[in-house]
Structure formats: structure tokens, C-alpha cells
């Protein structure tokens, strides 16, 4: 495995970094969509994230990395077996690649052919969705994903479980993952249903000022020259951020959510005319996650304001031609609303 | 600095040597050349410098299973368990490999090549196999593209050096410069070479000045500058190395050319291009120290004659169409993207999916063994087990807008037409159709938007559509026919929508003459009318006249007069007619 570029060494791209760390703190936020042109470091940052994530406790031997603290609550067959007490072990939060060209059997899982033929057993061979449980599922060029794979993803992403009914198998297993998709919007649109599944979305651009570009080039050169040494130089920052994410995950449940935050979130969504409740829920959850990340005990309007563009950008009632102004609309409504609040 | 102007061939020879020296550090070479002795000789040079016995070639139509690897059929059937087979990218690990006809690579193949170039490895999750393969390749993308076709920008972005052999004739090939020993010597030097901070800043500034946004190009240019110094036997990078990097890496990717101290004898850019060109950020010109100016000028001065013009036209084209022929997917019974598996009879055609078949057969094996009383028989597959792969057979459809932007069509009508097109675009988006846009005015008809599914691009093209001037109807109809024919070769059905007042006044040869213009337009219309496509002519004249109706009849299209229609009415009507 090639050594990943350190997350903390990535120059600029603060929106993208913030969205991904928030998703690492609260996986329930519903995924991150990263849209941008070539050469903006979309895939670099996700590989970087994989190397940054903290460890989690899992049930040893469980193919779905179930949480030992919540035994038998999951749907997993392995952990539901009454026989043995689960042994706890740890692993780094998984980041699983869903490459373009994946076949459905590998994504959702299928009959284990070897065991079927050799032993005549009907056994399930878990797929990528199983590997991604409790972690991240990354789809590069998500707008080019085949429709039948997207269909499979949509259902699982919404329900958090993967139901396999094929080849005489009847399996349900937990598949809660943070879906991370990246793509270049110039190459085709995302299906609206899939776009809705993402909790946060970020637009990335290449910075166009000389000093930043020189910095990008310099650090990338240094990295390419000696990856090990470069990682070592950033190790302290990496572990600081890792601990911060870890602490925020633990503190998340105890973050206070004042009533005016809920109210403002609702007002924002009404003012922008977003469909459904998902926008509001994600706004509140993201504000809480951001508060936890900043070691604040209460989620404030300031947190909400920071995160609102990422939460709402892709949820505005779609005028498919009015893509560019989404950010401006969100910002304008935020400005209006927050001025009111100050009065 | 030397004032010698290196020849195009000398640059190509340097590129071949640098490709071998730097390998996957620069991704590879984007080779623009028609097939022929010059290209063959250049590839011979690359092969000669490398230690490879021959350069492997990836054909443009390589199936995904072969490219990535997948299941080894023979071994799998024999052993009754999935056996993996290395794909071509894995086989080419740490080698130079050629992608043939790179401008026609399917989008998925482009993606896999990009992943291999970025990561040096591939993860494969298909046909029961889930594995990682090392695939650190150096790629030569052999681009035979004509002016309409480009290597996908995602791929060309990752290839550090661009070599253009197009203008070099067989007599342009010069004596060899390097030997393999030169490269070995340079390799020993390479790690000690470092760039001064000024040179690094210079490359960053120059790439911005040239409108090359992606940092990959600048990184490659730095590598190439170091490599050039090493090849010249120096430990320090000097200005001539930067100039070399500019010529090989940055200039070919330029989307805008800076103003130089001496005005270049290039034709004035067309005014319409200026409208949507983003104004240069002021700080780049102000802050640009004279150092960069000097370097850029030096590099420009080293450019062979005529190349600048060529770059300029190319830059204009790249602006227009930045994403290649991603629509060029073949639809075929047994080709295309697999979209699922179903039970079926293989004798009726179709490709057997071994894995699904085995899966279907597996649970029954103990029973079947018993039934036969033959416990030794390993595997019994029956007809009902056979599964076939389903390929994407849905025909693509393309809606082609042909918009009259001439003066007679009047600006206000043009705005309405634009509005209608925008609304129709939204419809096409829902149906996941492709759209394309031809605009015609003054001397020529132009494909402003090649077939795409991206609304962002469609909208940009539309916004940039200027109006005014004469009406070259004949040229527009010829271009329409051309696009339709090309689309139908790729299995795409096209419907076109022509918005015009029918007043043709430019002949096919470009002369302004109402009579010749009308005559040529009718001839072109007859030819287009012979095509099996559905067309719609929308008369945008204030007072509809017979000429647009005549045109529609000749085109065998549907005619609608919409003298006062606004965008929404237009849209409703078009929808009603075209279904």
C-alpha cells in the first residue's frame, strides 16, 4: 500500500477537510459529496482521511465489524449467535473503495461459490458494503457509477442494512457507512435521488494565488521525494487531529442543543424552500458535531452558520440550470436570518 | 541562455529521453500524432531508451475484465473456485505502456488509467474477486484525434509531457541526440538536483499565467526541469531547463497566452471569445516579477515558427470542449457496460456469466450427485443454471439544437430561443438525454456544445452565444447532418430542433448572396431530409413567411410558427410535437 499524503498537510481546502472530519465525528450525518475540477486533490484528501481515522472497538471475527458494546442489537448473524461471549479487538475505521466497474455481486455480497461447490454449504460471502460497515465507502467519479449499482447503494444508505435475497440466500446484515462521493460536475449530473443521500456537499476549486500554489507544489514535491520522512514530519499534527476526532466522537452525545438552534435551522430551511426534514436534521447534527470537534459543550448559531452552506447547497429546490447561484442563495438567506436574530 | 531555437524533433527526442528518465514521476506522455513513420520512429526511440523489449499496447476497446483482471475462466471451472487473473494494467506494472487511439477510450477505461497513474495500484472488486494489484505504469496516450476529438481531460491532465509530432514530416526527423548511457548517467545525477526557490515560483506563476489550473502540470514541469538538467549533465537547474519544461509541459496545456512585450503576429482573437474569458486576476500580472517575464519570453522565443498560432487555435478549442468524446460508447449485444445478470439461454446469443452460473448450480450439486449415483463427478451444470450478463442496450438519444443567431433572427428572438433551449435542457436532463448545440451566424455554423449530458456545460455554451450578422443556413444544415451521422455511428438517435426565420443569405462557399444562399440551403436541406431522423423547424419570424415552411417541407420536418411565443410556450409546443 502506498503511503498516504498526511491529511493535515493538505494546503487550503478547509471546507472539504471540515466536512470530512464532521462526518468522522458523526457518521449519521449521511455522507459527503465532493464536487470539483481536475487536480483539486479530491481523491488525495480521502486517502489522507483513511490514514488519519482513529481506531474503533469491534467484535473479533465478525465480518461486519460490529460494536461489542452494543451486542445482539445489530442484525449481524455472527454476533447474534448466543453461544460465545464476544471478544473485543480494535481496528482503524475502514475506508473502503468502491471502484468504477465493480460488479453487483462484489458490492452487495453473494453466495460463496467455493464453499458451495466444495462443501455443498450455502454460505454468504460479504461484499464491499459489509466491509464498509461503521466506516466510509468511497466512490470516485460517483456521477459515472452504473445505475444498477447506484440503486443498490441508495437503499442501503437509507436503511443502514443490506438485504440480500439471491441464489437461495436470505441475509440481512448491518451496513451503516458514510458515503463519500467525488466527481467533476462537468462530466454529467448526479441522479437527484443519490444527491439527496449526501448530508454535506462541498465544492472544491484550485487556488489561484501564487503563494498558495507554490506551497502546494513545494509540499507535494517534498512528499514525493521521501514519503516516510514527510509523514514523520506531520505525525504530531496528525495524531493531534486524530485525538480531537476521537474525543469529539465520545463527547458528541453530551453536546447541548438549545431551542433557538432548532428554530433557526427550521427557519433557514423554510426560507430556502428545501424539501423534507432531512436538511434541518442534518443542520442540527452537523452543528453538534462541529461543537464537539471544537470542544464546545453547546452547539451555537455560529456552528450552524459555519456548516450551513455545506448542508444546504445541494438541497435547494432544483432549477437544474441555476447551479452556480446555490451558494449565493444560501449565503444571502443566512445573512438575512442572522441579522434578524441579532436584533 | 542559448538562443538556438530547438527544432520540434529535438524537443520530441528530449521528451523520449525524459520519459524514460522520469517514468511514473510525470505520469507519461500525451502523444499527438497520426500513425506513420514519424510516430513509429519516435516510439522506437522510447523503446530504445527503455530496457523493455517491446512496448505493450492497450487497445481502445479493451474490455474492463481484461484491463483490470478478473476471473480466469479455465482455471475457475477446473478447480471449482474462483481463480483470479491479472489484468493488463497489472501486467504492465513498472513499464511503459501505450494507449492506442486514446481520444476514443471509453470513460471507464480513462478512469482506470487515471487511478493507476495516481495510486500505482488498483483495487478490483468484480466477479467474485476482491484484491489489490500493483500497477505503477508510465503511459503514452497515442492521440490521433482530429480537431473534434480530444483525449479526455482527466487523462491528459495526468500526463506531464505533451509531444506533438503532427507538424513534423519524415524529413523533419533529425539525428539522434541521446544514447541509453546518457539516461543512465542522468539517473545517477537526478536525486541530487534541486530547484531554486525562484524557479519554483516561476513555474507556479507561469502555469497560472497560461491558465493551466491543475497543479499536476506544474509538478510535472518541475520534474522535467530537473530531468533536463540531469540529461545535460548539470547539478543545477538553469533557465534553459525551465524553458524546456515550459515547452514540453506547460505551453501545450495553455488555455490563454499572455501578452508579451513584443506583439506577436497572430490574428486578433474573435471578439466573442473575449466575453466569457475570465479576466486575468490582476495580481498575477502586477506581482509577476521580471524574472518570470524573462523566462516566458525566452521560452516563447525558442518556439518554432507557426507553433504559437497552432497553440492559440488549440487553446481556443480546448476552451470550447474540455472533456473529449466521453459519449463515444458502443452499444452492442455483447459489449458495453454490463448492467446485471439474468437467467437465460446462451444459444440465443449473449455472454454466459460463469460465476453466476456456478452460483446457481452450486446448491444443487449434492442432490445431483446423488441423483446420478456418481459421487466422483465434480460439477454438474444444467441448462437452467446458465446465467447471462446483461449489457446496456438502451439507445442513447441526442437532442440537437440548431439556433439561428443571425441579425435577421433579431436579438430579442434569440433571447427567447435561448430561454426555450434552457427549458428543454431541463427536460433532457430528466430523460438523461444528451444535448448538443449548433449556432450559426455570419460566415459559419459552429458546434458550440458537443454532445454532452452536463447541464453546466450546456448553460455555459448558451450564455456565450452571441448574435447578429448574416444567415449561413446551408452551412448550418451541413453541420447538422454531419453531427447526426456521427451520432448514429455510435448508435445514438438524434432529433434536431431548428430555430430560425428561414432567411438564408450566405452560400456554402461563404459568399453573401440571398439567392445562392437560399439555393444552397435547400440543397443541404434535401440531403438532411434524406436522413432517418425527426426534425422540428420553429419559425421565429415576427410575421411567418412561406420560406421557413418550405424549408421544413424540404427537411421533411415538422413546422411550427411561433410568432409571439415566449420561451415557455415554445417549450410546451416542442414537447407536444416531439412527444
Domain CATH code at residue A170:
3.40.50.300
Out of B112, B219, B366, closest to residue A217 by CB:
B219
Structural domain total, chain A: 2
The pLDDT confidence band at residue B42, using thresholds 50, 70 and 90, is very high
Burial class (CB in 10 A: 0-12, 13-18, 19+), B373: exposed
Size of interface A-B (CB pairs under 8 A): 180
Whole-number pLDDT of residue A21: 95
Residue A122, in any domain of the structure: yes
Task: Decide: B339 and B351 in contact? Cβ < 8 Å.
Answer: no
Chain A residue numbers touching B125 (CB-CB < 8 A): 97-99, 102-103, 106-107, 127-128
Q: Is residue A64 part of a domain?
A: no
Render pLDDT for B66-122 as a digit per residue (tens, 0 to 9). 888 877 766 777 776 777 888 899 999 999 999 988 888 887 888 899 989 988 888
pLDDT in tens, A214-256: 899 899 889 988 889 999 999 999 999 999 999 999 999 999 9
pLDDT given at position B85: 83
Report the distance separating Cα B441 and Cα B475, nearest Å.
10
Asked if residues A59 and A68 have their Cβ atoms less than 8 Å apart, the reply is yes
d(CA B23, CA B160): 10
The model's pLDDT over A163-208, given as tens digits with 9 standing for 90+, comes to 888 777 788 888 989 999 998 877 777 777 788 789 999 988 888 8
Q: Give the CATH number of the domain where residue A276 resides.
A: 1.10.8.80
Range of lowest pLDDT (A93-107, B79-93, B287-301, B515-529)? B287-301
Q: Is the pLDDT of residue A321 over 60?
A: no
Helix (H, G, I), strand (E, B) or coil at B536: strand
Q: Does A40 reside within a domain? A: yes
Does the residue A34 lie in any domain? yes
Compare A200 and B270 and report the one with higher pLDDT. A200
Q: What percent of chain B has pLDDT over 90?
A: 16
Average pLDDT over residues B438-456: 80
Nearest to B578 by CA among B525, B528, B548, B534: B534
Section B549-574 average pLDDT: 72
Q: Find out whether A156 and A175 touch, Cβ atoms under 8 Å.
A: yes
Does A282 lie in the same domain as A197?
no
Task: Please give the biggest Cα pair distance in chain B.
Answer: 93
In this predicted structure, what is the pLDDT of residue B395?
57
Cβ neighbors of B390 (< 8 A, separation 6 or more) are: B338, B339, B340, B341, B342
Closest Cα in chain B, distance from residue A147 (Å): 8
Angle at which helix B514-529 crosses helix B473-489, to 10 degrees, equals 20
Chain B residues within an 8 Å CB radius of A184: 154
Same domain flag for A151 and A262: no
| H helix or E strand, kind and range, residue B338 | strand B338-343
Measured between CB atoms, which of A106, A148, A184 is closest to B340?
A: A148
Q: Which of A175-179, B436-440, B568-572 has the lowest mean pLDDT?
A: B568-572
pLDDT at B427: 67
Report the chain B residue with the minimal C-alpha distance to residue A116. Answer: B362
One domain for residues A283 and A158? no
Q: B563 versus B362: which is more confidently predicted?
A: B362
Mean pLDDT of A87-95: 88
Confidence of residue B280 (pLDDT cuts 50, 70, 90): very low
Distance, in Å, from the CA atom of A202 to the CA atom of A205, rounded to the nearest integer, reads: 10
What does the alpha-carbon distance between residue A67 and residue A89 come to, in Å, rounded to a whole number? 10
Residues in chain A with CB shorter than 8 Å from the CB of B292 are: none
Question: Following DSSP, what letter does each residue of A109-143 receive, concatenated?
Answer: -EE-HHHHHHH----EE--HHHHTTTSEEEEETGG
| Neighbouring residues of B31: CB distance < 8 A, sequence distance ≥ 6 | B39, B42, B140, B141, B142, B143, B163, B165
Same domain, residue pair A278 and A184: no
Res B344 pLDDT > 80: no
- Domain locations along chain B: 338-391, 397-578
Taking 70 as the threshold, does the pLDDT of residue B272 lie above it? no
Dihedral sign for Cα B571, B572, B575, B578, please.
negative
Cβ atoms < 10 Å from Cβ of B342 = 11
A278 is catalytic: yes
Residues in contact with A330: Cβ distance below 8 Å, sequence separation at least 6, in sequence order: A272, A308, A309, A312, A313, A316
Q: What's the ipTM?
A: 0.71
Q: Are residues A198 and A264 in the same domain?
A: no
Q: What is the largest CA-CA distance in chain A?
A: 74
Given a contact cutoff of 8 angstroms between Cβ atoms, the answer to whether B250 and B213 are in contact is no
The whole-number average pLDDT for the span A138-162 is 84
Q: What is the pLDDT of residues B194-207, one digit of tens each?
A: 888 888 888 888 88
Chain B residues within an 8 Å CB radius of A97? 123, 125
**Closest alpha carbon within chain B to A109:** B128
Chain CA centroid to CA B573, Å = 35
* Residues B511-526 pLDDT 10s: 788 888 888 888 888 8
What count of residues does chain B have?
579
Q: Are strands B28-32 and B121-126 parallel, antiparallel or unpaired?
A: unpaired
Interface test with A, best of B134, B150, B192, B204 (most A CBs within 10 A): B204
Interface of A with B in 202-261 (CB under 8 A): 206, 208-210, 213-214, 216-218, 220-221, 224
* DSSP code, position B155: H
The angle, 0 to 180 degrees and rounded to 10, between the axes of the packed helices A326-342 and A259-272 is: 140
Q: pLDDT band for position B21 (50/70/90)?
A: very high
pLDDT band at A294 (very low <50, low <70, confident <90, very high): very high
What is the DSSP-derived secondary structure letter of residue B193? -
Name the range with the highest mean pLDDT among B412-416, B481-485, B563-567. B481-485
**pLDDT of B185 higher than 90:** yes
Q: Is residue A294 part of a domain?
A: yes
Q: What does the block give as the cell for B377?
A: 463427478
Chain B residue nearest residue A187, CA to CA: B454
| Range B397-578: architecture per CATH | 3-Layer(aba) Sandwich (3.40)
pLDDT tens string B228-269: 999 999 999 988 898 899 889 998 888 776 654 443 333 433
Same domain, A200 and A262: no
The set of cell numbers assigned to B224 is 522535467
Q: d(Cα B29, Cα B310) in Å, to the nearest integer?
A: 19
| Residue with more model confidence, B322 or B26 | B26
Residues A200 and A128 grouped into a single domain: yes
Would A192 be classed as within a structural domain? yes
| Final residue of a structural domain among A173, A204, A235 | A204
Predicted pLDDT of residue B262: 42
What are the helix and strand counts (H, E) for chain B? 23, 18
Quote the mean pLDDT of chain B. 76
Question: DSSP string spanning B67-131?
Answer: HHEEE-HHHHHHHTS--EEE-HHHHTTTSEEEETTGGG--HHHHHHHHHHHHHSEEEEEETTEEE
Same domain, A129 and A274: no
Domain range spanning residue A324? 253-342
Q: How many helical (H) and strand (E) elements, i.e. helices and strands, does chain A have?
A: 14, 11
Show which of residues 23-52 on chain A sit within 8 Å of chain B, judged by CB atoms. 37-39, 43, 47
- Sign of the Cα torsion B342, B343, B348, B353 reads positive
pLDDT at B12: 93
Query: Is B156:B141 a contact under the CB 8 Å cutoff?
Result: yes
B122 CB neighbours in chain A (<8 A) are 99
Distance in angstroms (rounded) separating the CA atoms of residues B20 and B95: 10
Amino acid at each position: 500500500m502506498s503511503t498516504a499524503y498526511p491529511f493535515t498537510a493538505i494546503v487550503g481546502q478547509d471546507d472539504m477537510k471540515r466536512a470530512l472530519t464532521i462526518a468522522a465525528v458523526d457518521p449519521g450525518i449521511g455522507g459527503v459529496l465532493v464536487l470539483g475540477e481536475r487536480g483539486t486533490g479530491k481523491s488525495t484528501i480521502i486517502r489522507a482521511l483513511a490514514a488519519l481515522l482513529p481506531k474503533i472497538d469491534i467484535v473479533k471475527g465478525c465480518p461486519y465489524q460490529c460494536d461489542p458494546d452494543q451486542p445482539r442489537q445489530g442484525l449481524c448473524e455472527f454476533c447474534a449467535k448466543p453461544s460465545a461471549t464476544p471478544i473485543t479487538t480494535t481496528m482503524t475505521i475502514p475506508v473502503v473503495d468502491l471502484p468504477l466497474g465493480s460488479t453487483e455481486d462484489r458490492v452487495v455480497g453473494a453466495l460463496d461459490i467455493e464453499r458451495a461447490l466444495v462443501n455443498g454449504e450455502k454460505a454468504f460471502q460479504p461484499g464491499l458494503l459489509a466491509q464498509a460497515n461503521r466506516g466510509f465507502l468511497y466512490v470516485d467519479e460517483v456521477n459515472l457509477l452504473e445505475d444498477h449499482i447506484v440503486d443498490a447503494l441508495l437503499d442501503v444508505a437509507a436503511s443502514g442494512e443490506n438485504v440480500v435475497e439471491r441464489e437461495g440466500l436470505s441475509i440481512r446484515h448491518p451496513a451503516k457507512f458514510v458515503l463519500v462521493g467525488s466527481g467533476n460536475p462537468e462530466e454529467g449530473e448526479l441522479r437527484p435521488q443519490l444527491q439527496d443521500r449526501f448530508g454535506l456537499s462541498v465544492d472544491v476549486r484550485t487556488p489561484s494565488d501564487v503563494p498558495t500554489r507554490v506551497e502546494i507544489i513545494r509540499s507535494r514535491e517534498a512528499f514525493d521525494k521521501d514519503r516516510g520522512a514527510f509523514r514523520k514530519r506531520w505525525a504530531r499534527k496528525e495524531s493531534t487531529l486524530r485525538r480531537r476526532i476521537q474525543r469529539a466522537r465520545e463527547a458528541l452525545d453530551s453536546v447541548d442543543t438549545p431551542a433557538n438552534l432548532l428554530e433557526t435551522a427550521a427557519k433557514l430551511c423554510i426560507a430556502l424552500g428545501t424539501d423534507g426534514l432531512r436538511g434541518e436534521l442534518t443542520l442540527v447534527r452537523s452543528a453538534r458535531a462541529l461543537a464537539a470537534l471544537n470542544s464546545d459543550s453547546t452547539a451555537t448559531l455560529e456552528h450552524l452558520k459555519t456548516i450551513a452552506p455545506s448542508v444546504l447547497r445541494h438541497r435547494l429546490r432544483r432549477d437544474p440550470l441555476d447551479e452556480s447561484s446555490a451558494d449565493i442563495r444560501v449565503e444571502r438567506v443566512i445573512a438575512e436570518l442572522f441579522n434578524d436574530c441579532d436584533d | 541562455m542559448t538562443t538556438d531555437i530547438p527544432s520540434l524533433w529535438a524537443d520530441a527526442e528530449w521528451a523520449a529521453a525524459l520519459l524514460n528518465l522520469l517514468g511514473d514521476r510525470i505520469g507519461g506522455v500525451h502523444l499527438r500524432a497520426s500513425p506513420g513513420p514519424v510516430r513509429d520512429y519516435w516510439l522506437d526511440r522510447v523503446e530504445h531508451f527503455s530496457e523493455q523489449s517491446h512496448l505493450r499496447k492497450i487497445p481502445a476497446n479493451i474490455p474492463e475484465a481484461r484491463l483490470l483482471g478478473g476471473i480466469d475462466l479455465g482455471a475457475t471451472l477446473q478447480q471449482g473456485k474462483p481463480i483470479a487473473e491479472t489484468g493488463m494494467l497489472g501486467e504492465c506494472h513498472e513499464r511503459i505502456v501505450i494507449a492506442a487511439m486514446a481520444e476514443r477510450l471509453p470513460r471507464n477505461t480513462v478512469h482506470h488509467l487515471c487511478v493507476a497513474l495516481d495510486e500505482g495500484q488498483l483495487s478490483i472488486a468484480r466477479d467474485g474477486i476482491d484484491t489489490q494489484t500493483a500497477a505503477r505504469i508510465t503511459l503514452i496516450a497515442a492521440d490521433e484525434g482530429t480537431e473534434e476529438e480530444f483525449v479526455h481531460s482527466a487523462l491528459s491532465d495526468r500526463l506531464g509531457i505533451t509531444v506533438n509530432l503532427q507538424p513534423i514530416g519524415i524529413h523533419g526527423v533529425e539525428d539522434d541526440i541521446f544514447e541509453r548511457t546518457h539516461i543512465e548517467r542522468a539517473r545517477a545525477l537526478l536525486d541530487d538536483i534541486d530547484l531554486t526557490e525562484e524557479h519554483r515560483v516561476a513555474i507556479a506563476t507561469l502555469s497560472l499565467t497560461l491558465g493551466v489550473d491543475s497543479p499536476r502540470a506544474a509538478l510535472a514541469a518541475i520534474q522535467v526541469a530537473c530531468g533536463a538538467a540531469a540529461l545535460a549533465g548539470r547539478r543545477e537547474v538553469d533557465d534553459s531547463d525551465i524553458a524546456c519544461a515550459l515547452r514540453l509541459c506547460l505551453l501545450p496545456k495553455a488555455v490563454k497566452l499572455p501578452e508579451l512585450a513584443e506583439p506577436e503576429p497572430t490574428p486578433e482573437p474573435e471578439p466573442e471569445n473575449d466575453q466569457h474569458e475570465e479576466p486575468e486576476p490582476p495580481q498575477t500580472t502586477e506581482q509577476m516579477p521580471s524574472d518570470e517575464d524573462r523566462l516566458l519570453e525566452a521560452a516563447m522565443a525558442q518556439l518554432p515558427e507557426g507553433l504559437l498560432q497552432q497553440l492559440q487555435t488549440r487553446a481556443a478549442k480546448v476552451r470550447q470542449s474540455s472533456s473529449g468524446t466521453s459519449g463515444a460508447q458502443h452499444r452492442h449485444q455483447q459489449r458495453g457496460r454490463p448492467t446485471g445478470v439474468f437467467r437465460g439461454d446462451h444459444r440465443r446469443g449473449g455472454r454466459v456469466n460463469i460465476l453466476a452460473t456456478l452460483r446457481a448450480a452450486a446448491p444443487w450439486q449434492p442432490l445431483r450427485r446423488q441423483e446420478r449415483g456418481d459421487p466422483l463427478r465434480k460439477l454438474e451444470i444444467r441448462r437452467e443454471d446458465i446465467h447471462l450478463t446483461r449489457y446496456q442496450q438502451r439507445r442513447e438519444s441526442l437532442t440537437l439544437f440548431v439556433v439561428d443567431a443571425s441579425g435577421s433572427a433579431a436579438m430579442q428572438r434569440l433571447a427567447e430561443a435561448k430561454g426555450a433551449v434552457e427549458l428543454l435542457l431541463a427536460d433532457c436532463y430528466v430523460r438523461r438525454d444528451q444535448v448538443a448545440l449548433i449556432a450559426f451566424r455570419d460566415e459559419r455554423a459552429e458546434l458550440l456544445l458537443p454532445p454532452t449530458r452536463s447541464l453546466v456545460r450546456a448553460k455555459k455554451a448558451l450564455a456565450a452565444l452571441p448574435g447578429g450578422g448574416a444567415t449561413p443556413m446551408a452551412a448550418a444544415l451541413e453541420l447538422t447532418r454531419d453531427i447526426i451521422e456521427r451520432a448514429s455511428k455510435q448508435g445514438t438517435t438524434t432529433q434536431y430542433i431548428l430555430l430560425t426565420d428561414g432567411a438564408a443569405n450566405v452560400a456554402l462557399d461563404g459568399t453573401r448572396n440571398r439567392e445562392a444562399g437560399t439555393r444552397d440551403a435547400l440543397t443541404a436541406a434535401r440531403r438532411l431530409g434524406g436522413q432517418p431522423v425527426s426534425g422540428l423547424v420553429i419559425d421565429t419570424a415576427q410575421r411567418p413567411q412561406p420560406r421557413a415552411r418550405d424549408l421544413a417541407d424540404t427537411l421533411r420536418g415538422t413546422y411550427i410558427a411561433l410568432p409571439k411565443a415566449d420561451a415557455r410556450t415554445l417549450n410546451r409546443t416542442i414537447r407536444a410535437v416531439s412527444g
